[in-house]
Every structure is written in structure tokens, then in C-alpha cells.
Amino acid sequence: MSSDVILVIVVGTALAFDFTNGFHDTANVVATSISTGAAPPQVAIGLASLLNFAGAFISISVAATVANDVVDAAVITPTIVFAGLIGAIAWNLITWWVGLPSSSSHALIGGVVGSAVAAAGFDAVIAEGLVGKVLIPAVVAPLVALVVAGLSIGLVYRLVGRQRPGPVTRGFRYGQIISGGLLALAHGTNDAQKTMGVITLALVANGTLGADANPPLWVIASSAAAIALGTYSGGWRIIRTTGSRIIKMDAAQGFSAQGAGAAVILASTHFGFPLSTTHVINGGVMGAGAGKRVSAVRWGVAGNIFVAWLLTLPAAAAIGAAAYGLTRIFGTGALGPVLVSLMALALVVAAFARRSQRRAPVPAS
């Protein structure tokens, strides 16, 4: 009975994380389309939500990696998964608060690894999987996106640079509807699967599913719905960072950045690499900027994002470990997860209340 209560809390927390993931990553998916004028914000966000939902059904390779290849499922308990999720959500909220597009994916994996280490030591971590399927692709993928976007924009300017700008800009704006849609699809495919993987891990840890089981349909559908709702709710603060503070983009650059991001994420998803979609998309944006003119990229802003990238895994791991410690103060039953989730909920509500107070209009009097 107690383990079932914990499992329900874990599933609820995982879906809440998925929602914050979509909320946090809306910027990554739609910022380029909005900043180049390819689509009005509401249309871009609505389309991105629908395609995130659809993307979640395309593949389960990444979910399998998260469930089987990062931590040893044999020593994992639902409480460990719960604490990891708390670490990830807390880090997502912190970076949302300061307006930095950090990685929800690394936050999730960092949180789960941190809580697993706190509970069962370093033996709980599958080093091969963590290094080979998470850390190395985490470094390689944004660089590939940067190179692909840089090469693409160079080619674009060679091919259409001498044409009248009007039709070219219009053409690439139409193209951005496709490239933006593909990027949203790719985002849903890779990111929703991480939540599916974590829920599957908890179901295996609870004995509800057998080892190496695939995510059940209800897990896929609920993860898809949560990320789509989160995307629709959007994170306007971060949209400004990705869309205009890194570089001021034209439509061709937006198309190149989105195309590069979508290509890298879809290819990686095919091979089961749980990427940071944030890192990849920002790599594409920087490549598209640098491909036109290196000084067009505001490297100071890019540097801040890079610092957030570096901090995410260890910070989420530390919060995940702390959340596990806090949960265990109340014993091994359901009391710990219940109390910690209530505390987390209170913090989330307080953060949103504070943020909305700051944005409240000042009365004329």
C-alpha cells in the first residue's frame, strides 16, 4: 500500500516535471520563429504544443536508455526516482527564475543520478551508459548543431545572397513553419521520452513492470499530454534570451538554426541518446549567427548559457541527493515523499506568486 502511494506520487511528480520541461523549453522551440516574424507567438506556441504531443509517440529508444542505461534499476526504489525528480524540478525553476535556458534533460538525469548515489553509493550509477549515452553526446551534439547551422547558413547566402531580399525572406519565413514544426516534433520525441523512461524506471523499481519492459501506452500518452500542456503554457522570459539576445536573426538564419537543431535531435533520438534539446538548439542558433558574422553572436550571453550548462548536472544531482536525504528523515514509507512533494509544491506556488506580483501593472494613480 505504502509503495503504491509512493508510486502515485512519483508518477504525478514525473508528469509535473514533464510539464515544467515543456514550459521551460517552449523558448527553445518557438523563439527563432517568433523573433524572425515567421509566425505570431500564439500560432507558433499552439503548433509547437501539438507537434510536441505527436512527437512523443514516434520512438521509445530514449525512454529505454533512461530506464535501463543510466542507473542500475536493481537498486533503484520509487523514492530515489521521486527525489531525483524533485532535484530536476527545483533546478528548472531556479533557471527559469533567472531566465537562463539550461537543460531540463540534464537536470532530470543529474537529479536521478544524485539521489541514486545518495541512496546506494556510486555503484548505483552505470558509468558506461552515463558517459557514453549522456555525457559524450551532451558535448558533441551542440557542437554538431553549431557546425551544421554554420555550414547551412553559409550555403544559403551563397545560393540566394544575390537575390532580392523580399522574396527570399518570405520564402524562409514559410520554410520556418516546416523547420519550426520539425523542431517541435523532435523536441517532443526526445524530451517526453525522458519522462516516460523515468516513470518506467519507477514502475520497474516498484515491481509493477518487469525489467527491460517498454513504457506502457498510458505512460506515453500522459507524458505526451504533459509536455504539450507545458509547451502551451510557455516561458516568455526565456524566449527573449534564445530568440534575440544571443543573436539578432534573419529568417534564413532561423531556418538554418531550426533545421540543424531538428536534424541533430531526430538523429540522436533514433540512436537513443537523451540529449539536451536546449543545448542543441542554442548551438544551432549560435552557428547560424557565427556563420554570417562571428561578432553577430553576443558571446557574453552565450557564455552565461554555457555556465548554466556546466552547472546543471552537478547542481541537479546535489539537489536530488538533498531531496533524498530530506525524504528519508521521515522514514521509508510514504510520509517522506508526501511531505517533500507538499514542500516543493508550496515553493513552486510561492515562486509563481512572486513572479506574477513583479509583473502586475502599476495603477495610474
Partner 1 sequence: MTATIVQTGDLVKTVVASLIAGVGVTAIFSVAIWGGARFADLNRGGRPLAAAAAAALGAVALVATVAAVAFGIVVMTNK
What is the C-alpha to C-alpha distance for residues 103 and 107, in angstroms, rounded to an integer? 6
Closest approach of Cβ 170 to partner 1, in Å?
A: 9
Dig out the grid coordinates for 218 from the structure: 498510458
- Residue 364, SS3 per DSSP: coil
Pick the stretch among 18-26, 110-118, 167-175, 221-229 that binds partner 1 (CB under 8 A): 167-175
**Options 91, 172, 232, 309; binder of partner 1; rule CB under 8 A:** 172
User: Does residue 221 interact with partner 1 by CB under 8 A?
Assistant: no
Task: Pick between residue 234 and residue 254 the one whose CB is nearest to partner 1.
Answer: 254
Task: Write the binding mask 185 to 204 for partner 1: x where contact by CB under 8 A, - elsewhere.
Answer: x---x---------------
List CB contacts of 282: < 8 A, sequence separation 6 or more: 28, 101, 142, 242, 246, 302, 305
Closest approach of Cβ 149 to partner 1, in Å?
A: 7
Task: Pick between residue 163 and residue 295 the one whose CB is nearest to partner 1.
Answer: 163
Amino acid at 196: M
The candidate with the shortest Cα–Cα distance to 223, out of 12, 2, 3, is 12
User: Does residue 164 interact with partner 1 by CB under 8 A?
Assistant: yes
Chain center to CA of 112: 15
User: Does residue 177 interact with partner 1 by CB under 8 A?
Assistant: no
Task: Pick between residue 278 and residue 341 the one whose CB is nearest to partner 1.
Answer: 278
Give the number of residues in contact with partner 1, rule: CB under 8 A: 50
What is the C-alpha to C-alpha distance for residues 336 and 348, in angstroms, rounded to an integer? 18
Task: Pick between residue 81 and residue 264 the one whose CB is nearest to partner 1.
Answer: 264
262-291 residues in contact with partner 1 (CB under 8 A) are 262-264, 266-273
List CB contacts of 237: < 8 A, sequence separation 6 or more: 96, 99
DSSP string of 70-127?
A: SB-TTT--HHHHHHHHHHHHHHHHHHHHHT----HHHHHHHHHHHHHHHHH-GGGB-H
DSSP string of 115-165?
A: HHHHHH-GGGB-HHHIIIIIIHHHHHHHHHHHHHHHHHHHHHHHHHTTS-H
Pick the stretch among 202-210, 214-222, 254-262, 319-327 that binds partner 1 (CB under 8 A): 254-262
Q: What's the Cα-to-Cα distance from 358 to each of 18, 97, 351, rounded to whole Å?
A: 26, 12, 11
Task: Pick between residue 118 and residue 182 the one whose CB is nearest to partner 1.
Answer: 182
Closest approach of Cβ 107 to partner 1, in Å?
A: 22
Closest approach of Cβ 144 to partner 1, in Å?
A: 5
Closest approach of Cβ 194 to partner 1, in Å?
A: 17
- Residue 27, SS3 per DSSP: helix
The candidate with the shortest Cα–Cα distance to 183, out of 32, 57, 18, is 32
User: Does residue 359 interact with partner 1 by CB under 8 A?
Assistant: no
**Options 98, 131, 294, 329; binder of partner 1; rule CB under 8 A:** 131
**Options 255, 274, 279, 324; binder of partner 1; rule CB under 8 A:** 255
**Options 220, 260, 316, 334; binder of partner 1; rule CB under 8 A:** 260
234: left (phi over 0), alpha (psi -120 to 50) or beta: left
User: Does residue 145 interact with partner 1 by CB under 8 A?
Assistant: yes
User: Does residue 178 interact with partner 1 by CB under 8 A?
Assistant: yes
User: Does residue 175 interact with partner 1 by CB under 8 A?
Assistant: yes
User: Does residue 50 interact with partner 1 by CB under 8 A?
Assistant: no
Q: In 10 A of CB 43, how many CB atoms?
A: 14
User: Does residue 17 interact with partner 1 by CB under 8 A?
Assistant: no
Closest approach of Cβ 83 to partner 1, in Å?
A: 27
Interface contacts to partner 1, rule CB under 8 A: 58-59, 61, 127-128, 131-133, 136-137, 140-141, 144-145, 147-149, 151-153, 155-156, 159-160, 163-164, 167-168, 171-172, 175, 178, 182, 185, 189, 255-256, 259-260, 262-264, 266-273
